[in-house]
A and B are shown apart, each in its own frame.
Chain A
Amino acid sequence: MTDFPDPLPWLIVLPLLWGTLAFLLGPGRGGRLAIAAIALQGVLALQLAGQLLDDGSRVYAVGGWGAPLGIDLMADGLAAVMLLLTQAVALPLAVFARGYFAASPKGRELFWPLTGFLLAALNALFVSADLFNIYVTLELLGLAAVGLVAIAGGRQPVTAAMRYLFATLLGSGAYLLGVALIYGSYGSVSLAVLTPLLTSEAPLAVTLAAALILTGLLLKTALFPFHFWLPPAHGGAPAPVSALLSALVIKASFYLVLRLWLELFAPLATVAAAQLIGALGAAAILWGSWLALTQTRLKMLVAYSTVAQVGYLFLLFPLATLVPLGAADSAVQGGVMQAVAHGLAKAAMFAAAGSMIVATGRDDIGRLGGVGARLPLTLFSFGLAGVTLMGLPPSGGFSAKWLLLMAALESGQWWWVAVMIAGGLLTAAYVFKVLRRAFLPVAEGDRVTRVPRTLEFSAFALALAAILLGLFGAPLLELLAVGRAA
C-alpha cells in the first residue's frame, strides 16, 4: 500500500480505540474526542472511496494469512457507500448528542463508549468477507445497540431493550446455525472461497443455511412481520440513540442480506423467494405507514415510519432477481440509494423530534403547537426529512424511488409501483400530521423553550444532506458500481 495510513483497518481500529478511551475517561466524558475521531473516520472513508474509484475493489488479509486460513476484509463500492453513510450520519449525530445530553442528561454516562463500539461494529461488518467474523460483528453491533436502548433506564426502555435483545439474539442464533451448516458442508467460512463452490446444486444443508441466515438477518432488520421489537426500542431510547439505530443499525443487516443474496446465495435465489421478500416489504410499507399515522407520540410515529421505510429496501429483491440486467442494476441502485437516503433523513427526523421533545418537555404530537414559531429550523429539518421519506424530488428518497420504479416497469412488475406510490402518500399523511400540529400556536399552559443551536443545526445538516443526495447522487452510484459485475 502506498497510502499511509491505510484507511481500511483504521476505520475499525479507531472507533474501538476511542470507545475504550471514552470508557477510561469516565462517565459522560469523551464527547469531544468522539466528534474529532468520527471526523477523522469520515476522512478515512472518503480516502478509501477514492482508492476504490481509482483501483477497483480490494481485499485485505488480516494478519497476512489470507482466506481460508485467515480472515479477509473486502472493500468494494457497496461497502464504501455504507461506510460513507455511517460516518456521514454519525458525525452530525455526535454533535447533536453532545448538545442533547447536556440538555437532557438521562443516559449520558455510557453513551460515548457504547457508540464507539457500535460504530466499530458497523465499519467492521461492512468490510468483512468472512461469515463467522460477520457473526462476531453482528453480536458486537446487537449488544451495543441493546445497551444504548437501555441507557436511559425506565420501564418502557428496559422492556424494549429486553425484547430487542431477544430478537437480535434469536437472529444471530439462526445466523450462526447457518454458518455452522456452511462450514460443515464446505469447510470454509470465507466468502471468496465459498462463492465459486456454491452452485444451484448445493446440498440441502446449504439451502437450509441460506434460509436460516437470511431469516435471522431479516429479523434483525425488522422486516414485517418481524418488526414487533423495533418501534418500542427506537421510540423509547434517547433521541440520538434512536437516530443511530434507525439510520444505521438496521441498515447493517439489510446490507448483509443484499450482499449475500446478490453474491454468495445468488445461485439459490428463486423468483418465488424474491417475490415473498418483496411482499413482506410491501406489507411493511403499508402496515408501518398506517400505524405511524395512528400514533400519538412523536418518536413512536418516527419509529413506525422506520418500519415502513425498511419495506422499501426489500422491494429491490423481486426487482433484481432473475430479471433483465438493466432492471436489476437499477433496482440495486435504488435499494442502496434508499438505504442511504433513509439513513440521513431518519437521523435528521429523530434528531429534530428530539429537539422538539426537549423544547416542549413532552413526547406528544398533540402538544407541538408553537414549535413552528420557536424552532423554525428544526421544523424545517423535519419537513425536509419528510420530503425525502415521501420520495418527493429533489431528494435522495426520490432518486431511490425513481430507480425502483424504473426497475419495476422495466421488469414488468407494475404491482410494486402501486405499493410505492401508495406508501409515498401514506408517508405524506403522517409527516403532515406532525407539521400541521407544529404550525399551530402554543396551546394554553404549554411552554416551548429554545434548544441549543447545535441541536438545530446538526439535524438540519442531516436533512440537507438527504436532499442534496437527490441532486448529486450520480457519484454515489458510480462508487456503488465499483466491484460489481457489469
Chain B
Amino acid sequence: MSAALLYALAGAALFAIGLAGLLLQPHLLRKILAFNILGSGAFLILVGLGQRDGIIDPVPQAMVLTGIVVAIAATALALALARQLLDLTGQMRLPEDRPDTEPADD
C-alpha cells in the first residue's frame, strides 16, 4: 500500500466524521467546521487516490487548490450568514421549528 492510498483512506474517515458532524451538530459554527473537514476528506481522497501508484499527479493537486478556494468562499459566506442570524435571533443555530405558517413536515 502506497502512502498516498493511506492518506486517501484517512480522507474517507475524515469525510465520514465531517458528514456526521454536519448532520448532528446543531451549532452553526460547528456545522461550518464539519463542512470544512468533510471537504478536506474529499480533497485527500482526490489527491491520494490520484497518486495511488506513487506518481505525483499535478492535475488533482490543481483541482484541490481550486477546491480550497471554493471552500473558503463558502465558509466566509456561511459565517456571514451565521453572524447575521446571531444578530437577528441571538442564537447560532437553526430553529428546529419551521417558519410560522408552515406545518411541520417529515
Does chain A touch chain B in the assembled complex, meaning CB atoms less than 8 Å apart?
yes
Q: Mark B29-70, 1 if CB is under 8 A from A, else 0.
A: 001000100110111011011101000000010010011001
Q: In the complex, which residues of chain B have a beta carbon less than 8 angstroms from the beta carbon of A159?
A: 85, 89, 94-95, 99
A225: interface (CB < 8 Å) = yes
Q: Per-position contact with A for B76-106: 1 when CB-CB < 8 Å, else 0?
A: 0110011011001100001100110111011
Q: Which of A108-143 contact B (CB under 8 A)?
A: 132, 135-136, 139, 143
Q: Does A262 contact B (CB under 8 A)?
A: no
Does B73 reach chain A (CB closer than 8 Å)? yes
| Chain A interface, DSSP helix/strand/loop, else mixed | helix
Chain A positions within 8 Å of B99 at CB level: 156, 159-160, 232, 236
Interface string of A154-188 (1 = CB under 8 A from B): 11101111110110011001001101110111010
Query: Does A297 touch B at the CB level, under 8 Å?
Result: yes
Q: How far is the CB of A270 from chain B (nearest CB, A)?
A: 25
Pick from B48, B63, B81: contact of A150, CB below 8 A.
B81
The answer on a CB contact under 8 Å between A155 and B39 is: no
Is the CB–CB distance between A291 and B105 below 8 Å?
Answer: yes
Give the contacting residue for B70; candidates A139, A147, A185; CB below 8 A: A139
Residues on A with beta carbons closer than 8 Å to the beta carbon of B77: 143, 146-147, 165
| A199 located at the interface, meaning its Cβ lies under 8 Å from any Cβ of chain B in the complex | no
In the bound complex, residues from chain A placing their C-beta under 8 Å from that of B41 are 177
Which residues in B have their C-beta under 8 angstroms from that of A179?
A: 46
A183 to B47, CA, bound (A): 9
The residue from B31, B43, B67, B95 contacting A166, defined by CB atoms under 8 A apart? B31
B105 in contact with A158 (CB, 8 Å): no
| Chain B minimum-CB-distance residue to A153 | B84
Q: Would you call A413 an interface residue if the criterion is a C-beta within 8 Å of the partner chain's C-beta atoms?
A: no
A296 within 8 A of B: yes
* B49 engages A225 (CB within 8 Å): no
Q: Cβ of A147: which chain B residues have Cβ within 8 Å of it?
A: 77
With A143-B73, A228-B106, A287-B105 already in contact, the answer to whether A180 and B81 are too (CB < 8 A) is no
Name the distance in Å between B70's Cβ and chain A's nearest Cβ: 5
A154 contacts across to B, CB distance below 8 A = 88
**C-alpha spacing A179/B78, complex, angstroms:** 24
B74 adjacent to chain A (CB < 8 Å): yes
Specify which chain B residues have a CB less than 8 angstroms from the CB of A20 in the assembled complex: none
- Asked whether A139 lies within 8 Å of B74 as measured between CB atoms, the reply is yes
In this assembly, does A231 line the interface, its C-beta being within 8 Å of a C-beta of chain B?
Answer: yes
* Separation of A166 and B27 alpha carbons in the complex (Å): 12
Contacts of A177 in B (CB 8 A): 15, 41-42, 45
Residue from the list A161, A163, A165, A183 in contact with B49, Cβ < 8 A: A183
Task: Tell whether A294 is near chain B: CB-to-CB under 8 Å.
Answer: yes
- Complex contact B94–A162 (CB within 8 A): yes
Q: Given A132-B63, A159-B85, does the pair A187, B50 have CB atoms closer than 8 Å?
A: yes
A12 partner residues in chain B, CB cutoff 8 A: none
User: Residue on A with the closest CB to B39?
Assistant: A173
Chain A residues positioned under 8 Å from B84 (CB to CB)? 150, 153, 158
CA distance A209 to B89 in the complex (A): 39
The residue of chain B having its C-beta at the shortest distance from the C-beta of A132 within the complex is: B63
| B85 near A183: Cβ-Cβ < 8 Å | no
Given known contacts A156-B99, A291-B105, A162 and B28 CB-to-CB distance under 8 angstroms: yes
Question: Known contacts A159-B95, A165-B74, A291-B103: does B67 contact A176 (CB below 8 Å)?
Answer: yes
B46 adjacent to A158 (CB under 8 Å): no
Asked if residues A295 and B49 are in contact (CB atoms below 8 Å), the reply is no
User: How far apart are the CA atoms of A146 and B82 in the complex, in Å?
Assistant: 13
- Nearest residue (CB) in A for B48 is A184
Q: Counting CB contacts under 8 A, is A300 at the interface? A: yes
Which chain B positions have C-beta within 8 A of A163? 94
In the bound assembly, the distance between CA atoms of A169 and B67 in angstroms comes to: 12
Point out the residues of chain B lying under 8 angstroms from A176, CB to CB.
39, 42, 46, 67
Q: Tell me which of B46, B48, B81, B106 contacts A165 (CB under 8 A).
A: B81
* Interface CB pairs A-B, < 8 A, 5: A143-B74, A173-B15, A176-B67, A180-B45, A291-B105
Known pairs A177-B42, A225-B106, A287-B105. 5 more at Cβ < 8 A? A176-B42, A177-B41, A183-B60, A291-B103, A297-B101
The 8 A-B pairs of least Cβ separation, nearest first, read A184-B49, A180-B46, A180-B45, A155-B88, A177-B42, A176-B42, A162-B81, A139-B70
Name B residues whose Cβ lies closer than 8 Å to a Cβ of A: 8, 11, 15, 18-19, 22, 28, 31, 35, 38-39, 41-43, 45-46, 48-50, 52, 60, 63, 66-67, 70, 73-74, 77-78, 81-82, 84-85, 88-89, 94-95, 98-99, 101-103, 105-106
**Which A residues are closer than 8 A to B by beta carbons?**
132, 135-136, 139, 143, 146-147, 150, 153-156, 158-163, 165-166, 169-170, 173, 176-177, 179-181, 183-185, 187, 225, 228, 231-232, 236, 287, 291, 294-297, 300
